[in-house]
Structure 1
Amino acid sequence: MLGLVSGRPPAPRAVHARTSRQQRIVDHVLAAGSASAAELVDLTGVSLMTVHRDVDDLARRGLVRKYRGGVSAQPTSVFEAHSEYRRTVHRAEKARIADAALALVEPGSSIMVDDSTTALALVERLEDVGPLTVVTNYLPALEILKALPEVRLIALGGDYSRTHDSFGGIAAMESVTRMSVDAAFVSTSSMTGSMTYHQEQDIVLVKRAMLDAAARSVLLMDSSKIRRRALHQLRPLDAFDALVVDDGVSEELVVEMREHVEVTVAAR
């Protein structure tokens, strides 16, 4: 505090303490899904005012979402969850979907994967499929793929989003439109029996460009996203060539989906 009053920058020890405290807040919220301000005071041992300042800082950086009385990592109809939170939830379902989708990846082909954590589960299984050409804008996918000798990796650049841990914007879209791949593997925030949705318009535009650049499009959706809506329509279900879901989707809804697209149910 004296450093701020005197015009000098905060001492390194103070910066380290704030960084460590904010990381504790983020880790707690990602694990719990949400937390009240009072809960964060107990967690960190600092004042309510300091907690609010920390949360404001984290919300500006896209790591959490602030609401009246607390903070959340969970998605809403207009806000997508942070990438780190999405990587921690429904992992078993995503793993089963990725196992089933792996059969749709042909050695020697070119594929595009989006910045979804379900597609990331597929990326984690590509080591023995090569040779492959893989195009992606998702930083965690790039980190995995760069180590695979049988993969020719093409990274899509653009504006970096900390919330999504991926690259988007006009530069990413223009890069996608210059390409033509054999298949695109994508996921999105929510769907009904006939339509897919996402909360953010910029993400929708990049996903649409990916689907347009692919000869075949495969939608990967875990059952937590079913019967939900988000702000923007992505594509009708019949615009996809294949859909892979886990067995948490009701049989009735699977029948409805099969009126629009080829459906694979990834069983336990």
Structure 2
Amino acid sequence: MGEDSQRGRGVDERRQRILHLLLRETSAQVDELAERFGVSRMTVHRDLDALAEQGFVRKVHGGARVSSLHLVETEFVQRGTMAVAEKRAIARAAVALVQPGQIVVLDDSTTCTILAEQLAAVEPLTVITNGLGPLERLHTDQGKTIICLGGTYKQHYHGFFGLVLEQATRGLRANTVFISAQSVWENTVYHPEEEVAKSKQDLLAIADQRVLLVNSQKFGATALHRVGAVAEFDVVITDSGISPLDLNKLRETKLEVIVADLQP
């Protein structure tokens, strides 16, 4: 990858992370963003201008906010446009862990939605999910048995959560569960919303093999609610954009770590 391509990718990644922060917190100040991302105020203004041109944010005095509440409610759509190459590489590696005849669990994440697309060639297969993304990709596939976990629908995450989901999972068992993360900090998985973090814990409890899908942009990000330690998983799949420092931390857990190559 050339120097210009690397620089461009770095800019895109930073803008995606700024957007993710704004979607979560609804607004932020320029000084706060400059300090958080280690760049100048002028660079932050350029990033916000680019996001504003795309209609994602609205610049206000001293900072920016998401352009509307509707944008916050449809974060799933926006997340689906972020780190797509990384998520596809991770999904390709994850498919190799699935065998015909198995029962697998997919969470509500955009990464698992892409994984659902990759599972088309694996059949027969039973898929358990609380996400509408995987369901939409698989519901017409004659080679799949789909179990959709109920609960309270949250448009923000395009999935189902809460007590009904917790009760439904108790009567199920699966071979492998695939869980994505919004944040990995010091080898611990976090999510900004408590109910979503709890749903991931519920799904992890019903499978024999636990696989964490986490793209390289999620390392070092912070979120409020703890899902669990990375060491509680059996396999971690990330992409080749991961920093050497973060990769070494993962390997310290002694888990199987799969680094998926990004196709050009």
TM-score computed with the length of structure 1 as normaliser: 0.73
**Match for residue 71 of structure 2?**
64
**Match for residue 156 of structure 1?**
149
**Match for residue 226 of structure 1?**
219
CA distances 1:7-30 after superposition (whole Å, capped 9, x unpaired): xxxxxxxxxxxxxxxxxxxxx879
1:146 aligns with one of 139, 148, 170: 139
Tell me, what secondary structure is at the counterpart of 2:221?
A: coil
CA distances 1:30-49 after superposition (whole Å, capped 9, x unpaired): 955422379xxxxxxxxxxx
Deviates more, 1:249-258 or 1:237-246: 249-258
Whole-Å separation in 1 of the counterparts to 2:150 and 2:53? 27
2:196 aligns with one of 189, 197, 203: 203
2:120 aligned with 1:97: no
Matches within 5 A, 1:19-30: none
**Match for residue 256 of structure 1?**
249
In the alignment, is the contact (CA less than 8 A) between 2:52 and 2:59 conserved in 1?
Answer: no
CA distances 1:92-113 after superposition (whole Å, capped 9, x unpaired): 1100010111101111100000
CA distances 1:120-146 after superposition (whole Å, capped 9, x unpaired): 111011111111000011112111111
Tell me, what secondary structure is at the counterpart of 1:83?
A: helix
**Match for residue 133 of structure 1?**
126
**Match for residue 267 of structure 1?**
261
Matches within 5 A, 1:29-40: 31=54, 33-36=56-59
CA distances 1:231-268 after superposition (whole Å, capped 9, x unpaired): 01111010000000011111232122012121100012
2:99 aligned with 1:106: yes
CA distances 1:174-200 after superposition (whole Å, capped 9, x unpaired): 111221100100102100241110001
2:126 aligned with 1:119: no
Aligned length: 208
User: How large is the Cα RMSD of the aligned pairs?
Assistant: 2.3
Bigger Rg, which one:
1
1:100/1:31 Cα in 2 relative to 1: closer, same or farther (>3 Å)? farther
In the alignment, is the contact (CA less than 8 A) between 2:56 and 2:71 conserved in 1?
Answer: no
Tell me, what secondary structure is at the counterpart of 2:190?
A: strand
1:31/1:117 Cα in 2 relative to 1: closer, same or farther (>3 Å)? farther
What's the CA shift for 1:227? 0.9
Whole-Å separation in 2 of the counterparts to 1:107 and 1:255? 33
Letter in 2 for 1:36: K
CA distances 1:49-77 after superposition (whole Å, capped 9, x unpaired): xxx9xx6xx52xxx334xxxxxxx9xxxx
TM-score computed with the length of structure 2 as normaliser: 0.74
1:30/1:244 Cα in 2 relative to 1: closer, same or farther (>3 Å)? farther
1:163/1:30 Cα in 2 relative to 1: closer, same or farther (>3 Å)? farther
Percent identity among equivalent residues? 33
Tell me, what secondary structure is at the counterpart of 2:208?
A: strand
1:84/1:221 Cα in 2 relative to 1: closer, same or farther (>3 Å)? same
Unpaired segments ≥5 residues, structure 1: 1-27, 39-51, 66-72, 74-80
CA distances 1:158-189 after superposition (whole Å, capped 9, x unpaired): 11111011111110111112211001001021
Whole-Å separation in 2 of the counterparts to 1:29 and 1:138? 29
1:35/1:139 Cα in 2 relative to 1: closer, same or farther (>3 Å)? same
**Match for residue 174 of structure 2?**
181
In the alignment, is the contact (CA less than 8 A) between 2:110 and 2:133 conserved in 1?
Answer: no
Whole-Å separation in 2 of the counterparts to 1:108 and 1:99? 19
In the alignment, is the contact (CA less than 8 A) between 1:31 and 1:85 conserved in 2?
Answer: no
Whole-Å separation in 2 of the counterparts to 1:144 and 1:94? 16
Tell me, what secondary structure is at the counterpart of 1:125?
A: helix
Letter in 1 for 2:58: A
**Match for residue 30 of structure 2?**
none
Whole-Å separation in 1 of the counterparts to 2:86 and 2:56? 18
